[in-house]
Structure 1
Amino acid sequence: MATWDPSNLPTRPGIYMRFVRAAAAQISGGTLGTVAIPLLTYAGTAVEKSFYTVESEAAAVELFGSANIQSVLLALAGGAKDVLVYTMPDTAVADDYVDMREALDARPFNVFVFDGEFDATQQAATKTWVARNRDEGKHFIVVIGGDAASDADPALGNARSTLNEDDYIVNVISGGIVGGVTYTSAEYAPYVAGDIAGTPISESITYDQLPLEDVTKRLTNSQTVAALAAGSLLFTNDGAKVKIEQGLVTSGLKIKSIRTQQAVTNDISRTATDSYIGKLPNNADGQATLMVAVKAYLESLGAAVLTNPVVMLDPQRPSVGDSVFLAVSYMETDTMERIFITVNI
């Protein structure tokens, strides 16, 4: 579903949606999803510049070899329904990354993450890519991370969040340790991508426990507050377990909110394309049918996602000819993330 500008309406038949960040002026929804990974090395039956959908370790070993599937296994362990793997050439250059992004343009997925690599140039290109796709109607989350040096200095990780500020980008600034193995934030980013893809939209990834024994750097309270203010995603060791501190994108918004917005955009677009565009008359009856369907869908998401959905014809724009303008509002349901207790003694 592409966006639309009131001052420059598209001429191509289709459904267009815009989000006005004002009081209760968004739509929410979503499903469990797919993580896309451009795999750098492989030694199985896979061939370069090809797509493979992987749902199990056995399939990944056969396709890519057991030594090359760390990122794939982390994404599956995090909770992804499956992993869409694109095989990069052995000595990938800048043009190969361009080819990879263009190939993924035509494939459905929910979260994109690199194969454990940290490359500032490719991260910048990915930021441009995700923005272009959003404008063209394709919506997904990107998860990035850094190297050991930036993991050791939260200021560097936060600077990366600022550099990659976007509603659709998550920047991990913490590395992790388990079983004597140390992961940089870029290497562990696929697990976070899987966690995002596998979490229902009625829930947040805030405080999700990670299968780690420790973080590579434990942040102080002031460093943690600064990281959250920067829109960084960090891990915290609370003395008993390692957990995600808060599920944020680099713009400072919550991942839950962005994912629900993305999912409902995709769901309404799919339904409208299949059942409404070119099939309903643009009169009172047809418009009522469309509005009832949209409202019923929003209500089906349940109170854990949103409440009080309202769907009506946009009073500012007449729905005439082949154009229908809807105004949708709702109250988004957040999850409990801060609990304040007063103890009277």
Structure 2
Amino acid sequence: MATGGSWDPTSLPIRPGLYINFVEAALAQITGGARGTVAMPLFEYGSAPAGKFTTIENEKQATDLLGTQHNDAVLRVLQGGAKEVLVYTVPTNADAEQQYIDMRDAFEARPFNVFVYPGEVSATEQDATLAWCQRNRDEGKHFMVVFGGSAADDQDPTIGNARSVRLADLYAVNLITGVVLSDGSELASAEYASYIAGLIAGTPINKSITYTDIPVVDVTKRLRNSEINTALISGSLVLVNDGRKVKVEQGIVTESDATKRGKIRTVRGRQAISTDIPATACDHYIGKVDNNPDGQAALISAIKVYLEQLEIENVLLAPTVKLDPERPSVKDNVFLVVSYVEVDSMERIFLTINV
């Protein structure tokens, strides 16, 4: 269904649908949040049937399907807070590259909010996965992708930062920190990315994951202040041990520069709006309402009510919805202009104390 994709004023889409362009202003990005489903392909799954999708909501379901030897990554997603994990047991294929292509094609027909691998994948497959995410975004399917690296990579933050730069995108998150669990075992960032994916999916849409406590005893490499600053500028997600606990330093995506760091909260809001408004249009407006002043007013009212609800929940401020004065809404085309101001979390507090 071709709803919710981008559109070009010089070449309008042919298929019926509601097409939204988000015009980013310099001082106001679209705010965000989270939904609840994490998609994960499994390449090792014991006696579970190959080539099947299964939705897992708790530890018992994970163990029943995968046994105790193969359920760790799924459990980390659930521990992170996701409502559910959409698992796909990837069939073995002699052509490894084709195996990944077929897997991504299979996921494309399923709804989810965050995609993550259960462990390390090659740089080639990371690049291909990001390109897949970007193409889906252009076609109206919105989800985030969480990446990580090997245990060796985690010991050198410059390697993780280079990965963040290579995978720079508003929909990508790159963890560069490995963790130490309570039993003393260690997980590389590529393995612990599954927990971060669950954390992103499970965080309410009016909250940030910045400074969220992480249930581990330490990180595999503690970064100096200068290294943390460099990582944030590079767009890396960093876990830090502050001497008392391990926490997320800042909930950012990989698309960053020295003056602006893209926020996970911001991007999730864009994804929610990009998904929810087209879904409402499909159910109640497309093909059902006349394109006349009354029908246009009904559509505008529905979108505004949706945005006003987000305003009540402290996701955004001052939403407006109106017909686009630059493009006539005639025949079967309706052009709307939507604007609002984001509500972000307090993340940097500056005090001037006069005594």
TM-score (normalised: structure 2) = 0.94
For the 8 Å contact 1:26–1:328, the answer to whether it is kept is: no
Residue among 42, 57, 60 paired with 1:58: 60
Please give the residue correspondences for 1:1-345 in structure 2 after superposition, counting only pairs within 5 Å.
1-23=4-26, 28=31, 31-44=34-47, 46-90=48-92, 93-178=96-181, 179-252=183-256, 253-301=262-310, 302=312, 304-345=314-355
Whole-Å separation in 2 of the counterparts to 1:190 and 1:274: 33
1:321 partner letter: K
Whole-Å separation in 1 of the counterparts to 2:213 and 2:31: 25
1:295 partner letter: K
Whole-Å separation in 1 of the counterparts to 2:329 and 2:305: 21
1:35 partner letter: V
Alpha-carbon shift at residue 341 of structure 1 (Å):
1.9
Structure 1: tracts of 5 or more residues without a match? none
2:83 partner letter: K
Structure 2: tracts of 5 or more residues without a match? 257-261
Whole-Å separation in 1 of the counterparts to 2:22 and 2:235: 21
2:58 partner letter: S
1:185 partner letter: S
Identical-residue share of aligned pairs (%): 57
Tell me the secondary structure at the aligned position of residue 88 of structure 2.
Answer: strand
Alpha-carbon shift at residue 69 of structure 1 (Å):
1.1
Alpha-carbon shift at residue 27 of structure 1 (Å):
5.1
After superposing the two structures, state which structure 1 stretch, 67-76 or 81-90, moved more. Answer: 81-90
- The Cα offsets for residues 215-241 of structure 1, whole Å up to 9 and x where unpaired, read as 111111111111000100010100000
Tell me the secondary structure at the aligned position of residue 166 of structure 1.
Answer: coil
- The Cα offsets for residues 91-114 of structure 1, whole Å up to 9 and x where unpaired, read as 671111111100000000000000
Alpha-carbon shift at residue 22 of structure 1 (Å):
1.6
For the 8 Å contact 2:31–2:344, the answer to whether it is kept is: no
For the 8 Å contact 2:24–2:30, the answer to whether it is kept is: no
Q: CA RMSD in A?
A: 1.4
1:59 partner letter: Q
**In 2 relative to 1, CA 169–320 (structure 1 residues): closer, same or farther, beyond 3 Å?**
same
Alpha-carbon shift at residue 118 of structure 1 (Å):
3.1
Whole-Å separation in 1 of the counterparts to 2:283 and 2:330: 22
1:314 partner letter: D
Alpha-carbon shift at residue 89 of structure 1 (Å):
2.8
1:182 partner letter: E
Runs of 4+ with >6 A deviation = none
2:65 partner letter: L
Alpha-carbon shift at residue 158 of structure 1 (Å):
0.4
TM-score (normalised: structure 1) = 0.97
For the 8 Å contact 1:28–1:298, the answer to whether it is kept is: no
- The Cα offsets for residues 188-210 of structure 1, whole Å up to 9 and x where unpaired, read as 00000000000011000011100
Whole-Å separation in 1 of the counterparts to 2:247 and 2:149: 18
Whole-Å separation in 2 of the counterparts to 1:277 and 1:75: 36
2:62 partner letter: A
Tell me the secondary structure at the aligned position of residue 69 of structure 2.
Answer: helix
Counterpart position of 2:259:
none
2:230 partner letter: A
For the 8 Å contact 2:29–2:266, the answer to whether it is kept is: no
For the 8 Å contact 2:149–2:160, the answer to whether it is kept is: yes
Q: How many residues align?
A: 344
For the 8 Å contact 1:49–1:89, the answer to whether it is kept is: yes
